[in-house]
């Protein structure tokens, strides 16, 4: 049995040498070891199955995405390109049933379709190659990219008009897979922007029996007020999720799935340009962040966990600290985990969940509750800036203690685990006065706990009350054990 990246030299009577090798990259998922064996030698390429049979296997012809560059979206010219772990950069054109049967498509595995969105310049999506590689590394599955560059280019509204025709073509293609014995429940469609609504329409044609649909910032223009039949919604698959990153511009602002992730509130992603002079990046950065977040989740560097809440403002205020309602503590996570990690039956619909991220990959952060308990009530709101300090990394949040109350809370996002945070900086913020320095002092206790806060056993408090003078920072050591 071969293991690791091993090579064996096979000598033949002719004196030619061949190397039998197995591409067993550490990133390759379990179950692929018998699928990617090759024999290399002069003028010969043989494949060896896991059963040991040797058969000639000519290198497949690779097909790339089309480039339209015609500024028109009249003809669809759809291509279905199959990608496999053996050669994730080589797309095999599979359109007819015979193409599928003669390809490396494996009907016993799950199938994942990627549908891109509007392509203004008629070019291949810049992110698609990385997306395919990440998907093949994360899942033992057939990966099929739907190339509809011709039908998606030019004017956005002409691309919208092609959505129904494209959905019908994809549905006909899926019917060929079903004839090969592929279960409907094993099909997962990942749609980007306009492609998310294409996925929804395909799911509608299959009466919501497809396994899963993931919408990556589903398109907003022309769809916010569309009927359920025309756009993505929770009835289009057994599990529908959407990741929202640009709800104030190109993305849809309403929930469209069982679980809807509103990342950083769903708009204005960290690291994206905030001024129009940045040009195309200003227009597209927030919208495409959903794609890059999903790629990061596939690479599984760290979890992107979210929390249900009525609004982003309420989440930041510390009003939603666990996932009990409605998920019974099973907090949803972006990625391929089954049903996003949600374990309850039946699935609730259109649940808004929130999370924060960093500005660069891998984007994930740890969320913590921060609290300040005043010793005495005050007649005005009390604002306290909280900053976590760890290895030259700072993360800040604001706590407001409402007037005539003793407790204020908030949520802070930090890239390092809580146990790596060595100090917290507290600053009592008051409006500055040019003519007089405010010498107001407050006394209280600071506490923190990692989210989700399912019990108070994880809460850590500074042992002694802290005295804070207006606009003067105070540093306190944090001693939090690593679990």
Q: Which of 244, 287, 292, 366 is the catalytic position?
A: 287
Residue in 193, 368, 390, 395 annotated catalytic: 193
The answer to whether 366 is a known catalytic residue is no
Catalytic residue, from 217, 236, 246, 260: name it.
217
Of 213, 170, 173, 171, the residue nearest 191 (C-alpha): 213
Neighbours of 111 (CB within 10 A): 22
Taking the C-alpha atoms of residue 93 and residue 83, their distance in angstroms, rounded to an integer, is 9
Classify residue 348 by its DSSP letter. P
Residue 99 catalytic? no
Give DSSP secondary structure letters for 46-82: EEE-TT--EEE-PPPPP-PPP---SS-------EEEE
CA angle at 368 for the pair 365 and 369, rounded to the nearest 5°: 155
287 is catalytic: yes
Instruction: Residue 347: name the closest of 212, 478, 454, 254 by CA.
Output: 212
Report the candidate in 200, 378, 411 with the shortest Cα–Cα distance to residue 311.
411
User: Which of 238, 237, 249, 263 is CA-nearest to residue 193?
Assistant: 249
Closest CA to 189 of 151, 148, 251, 238: 238
Report the alpha-carbon distance of residue 145 to residue 187 in Å, rounded: 13
Prior bond of 247 cis (ω within 30°): no
Query: Catalytic residue numbers?
Result: 193, 217, 287
């Amino acid at each position: 049995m071969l293991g690791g990246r091993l090579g064996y030299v096979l000598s033949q009577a002719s004196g030619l040498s061949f190397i039998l090798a197995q591409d067993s990259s550490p990133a390759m998922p379990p179950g692929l070891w018998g699928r990617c064996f090759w024999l290399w030698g002069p003028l010969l390429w043989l494949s060896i199955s896991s059963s040991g049979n040797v058969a000639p296997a000519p290198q497949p012809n690779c097909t790339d995405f089309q480039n339209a560059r015609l500024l028109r979206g009249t003809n669809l010219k759809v291509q279905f390109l199959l990608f496999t772990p053996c050669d994730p950069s080589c797309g095999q054109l599979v359109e007819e049933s015979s193409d599928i049967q003669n390809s490396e498509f494996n009907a016993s595995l799950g199938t994942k379709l990627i549908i891109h969105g509007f392509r203004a310049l008629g070019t291949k999506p810049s992110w698609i190659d990385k997306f395919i590689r990440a998907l093949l590394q994360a899942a033992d599955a057939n990966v099929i990219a739907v190339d509809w560059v011709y039908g998606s280019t030019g004017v956005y509204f002409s691309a919208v008009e092609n959505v129904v025709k494209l959905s019908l073509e994809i549905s006909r293609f899926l019917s060929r897979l079903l004839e090969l014995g592929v279960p409907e429940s094993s099909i997962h469609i990942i749609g980007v922007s306009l492609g998310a609504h294409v996925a929804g329409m395909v799911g509608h044609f299959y009466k919501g029996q497809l396994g899963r649909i993931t919408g990556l910032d589903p398109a907003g223009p022309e769809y916010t007020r569309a009927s359920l039949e025309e756009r993505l919604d929770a009835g289009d698959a057994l599990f529908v999720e959407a990741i929202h990153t640009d709800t104030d511009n190109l993305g849809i602002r309403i929930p469209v799935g069982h679980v809807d992730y509103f990342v950083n509130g769903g708009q204005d992603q960290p690291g994206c340009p905030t001024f129009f002079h940045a040009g195309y990046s200003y227009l597209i950065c927030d919208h495409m962040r959903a794609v890059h977040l999903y790629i990061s989740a596939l690479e599984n560097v760290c979890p992107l966990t979210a929390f249900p809440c009525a609004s982003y403002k309420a989440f930041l205020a510390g009003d939603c600290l666990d996932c009990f309602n409605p998920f019974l503590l099973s907090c949803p996570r972006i990625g391929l985990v089954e049903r996003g990690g949600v374990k309850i039956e039946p699935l609730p619909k259109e649940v808004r969940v929130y999370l924060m991220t960093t500005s660069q990959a891998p984007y994930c952060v740890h969320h913590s509750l921060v609290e300040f308990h005043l010793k005495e009530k005050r007649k005005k709101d009390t604002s306290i800036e909280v900053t976590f300090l760890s290895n030259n990394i700072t993360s800040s949040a604001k706590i407001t203690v409402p007037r005539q109350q003793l407790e204020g809370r908030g949520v802070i996002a930090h890239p390092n685990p809580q146990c790596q945070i060595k100090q917290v900086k507290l600053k009592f913020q008051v409006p500055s006065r040019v003519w007089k320095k405010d010498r107001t002092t407050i006394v209280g206790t600071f506490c923190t706990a990692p989210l989700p806060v399912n019990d108070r056993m994880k809460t850590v408090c500074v042992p002694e009350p802290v005295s804070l003078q207006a606009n003067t920072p105070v540093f306190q050591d944090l001693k939090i054990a690593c679990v």
